[in-house]
Amino acid sequence: MPLILHGLTPIHWAAAGASIALITLALLFLTNRRLGISTGFEDVCSFVVPVSYFARDAVRSARKWRLPFIAGLIIGGFLSAVLAGGWTPTWDLGMFDQAIGFGHAGKLAWMFAGGLFIGFGTRLADGCTSGHGIFGLSNFELSSLVTTISFMAAGIATTQLVYRVLFRV
Amino acid sequence: MALLYLTLGTLFGFVLSRSGAADYNYIQAMFLFTSVQLYGIIGTAVAITAPGLWLIKRYGRTVSGRPIVVPLKPKHRGNAIGGALFGIGWSMCGMCPGPIFVNIGEGKIYAIAALAGALAGAGLFGAVYTRVQSVFRLPRLVVGTGRT
């Protein structure tokens, strides 16, 4: 199956998994940082939402690394598109377009709603696929095992409901 | 140091972009059990990170000699419930938090709405934290001790 991005063939999962592991280990060994992306939402919120949750010492002290790391993620995606054949803004959403449609406004509303679940859920669970799924599982943390099982199960249930019941492919 | 974080983030973003981890179809294929790609990626990442992490912790220091500190994530009722909410969002957007940023970089316009939603969701959680704290047995907030 080609990627939505320029119809590229994805790199092998073993190479991708090994690269992610090396980046995770480099982050710890070089800079003493525990991989985690969704905590970065707090760093952004901490500039605009004046509540004590975002004034935590843990948030304030981590901005200086999380914000450049997140900026890197954006640059990484940008470079990937440029090197693959050029950067072009796109609305393409693969099987969503074929099975659900909804138009541009509907797609934005769907994405915003999904984003609300991601933002609220990852903060409540204290992490996402990176902090719990990769780092936490690798560190044998029980909270990460519980969270990972929980988000995998909910993801499977939601996609099965959407694409096998509500909008059949 | 900021340049190092930027570089590691760029590498991470590039791998997510080219592996399918930031691709809507591949996320759905994982949840539909029609592709092994994402299971292979996460499984391989954990299988290599776990022994590497053990070695680094055993060595006990960073490359520059500072003691390794791995902050543990608190265990509470929010893990299961928050994880479930996040799973719904991951399926809806076809992106987890890292890939939201990667997709924005790739030029996927709708990913900006996903980011707006995620920031709003995180902001909402911060605003109601003290009200849901006892329900989920969340840890006490550490604010203004000067410790970093």
Pull the structure tokens for residue B43.
């499984």
Inform me whether the pLDDT recorded for B146 exceeds 60. no
Taking alpha carbons only, the member of A2, A5, A3 closest to residue A83 is: A5
Lowest mean pLDDT among A67-71, B78-82, B130-134: B130-134
Nearest CA in chain B to A114: B89
Which of residues 120 through 149 in chain A touch B, CB cutoff 8 A?
120-144, 146-149
* Whole-number Cα distances in Å, B32 to B29, B40, B73, B98: 5, 15, 30, 21
CB A45, CB A54: distance < 8 Å: yes
Residues on chain A touching B50 (C-beta within 8 angstroms): 137-140
Instruction: State the pLDDT at residue B77.
Output: 96
Inform me whether the pLDDT recorded for B51 exceeds 90. yes
In angstroms, the separation between the Cα of residue B34 and the nearest Cα of chain A is: 10
Calculate the average pLDDT of chain B. 95
Question: Hey, is the C-beta of A81 within 8 angstroms of any chain B C-beta?
Answer: yes
**pLDDT-based confidence at residue B148 (cuts at 50, 70, 90):** very low
Specify the length of chain B in residues.
148
Average of per-residue pLDDT across B36-42:
98
Q: Is the dihedral of CA B62, B56, A123, A110 positive or negative?
A: positive
Which of A30, A111, A122 to mutate to test binding with chain B, by most B CBs within 10 Å of its CB? A111
Q: Is the ipTM of this complex over 0.90?
A: yes
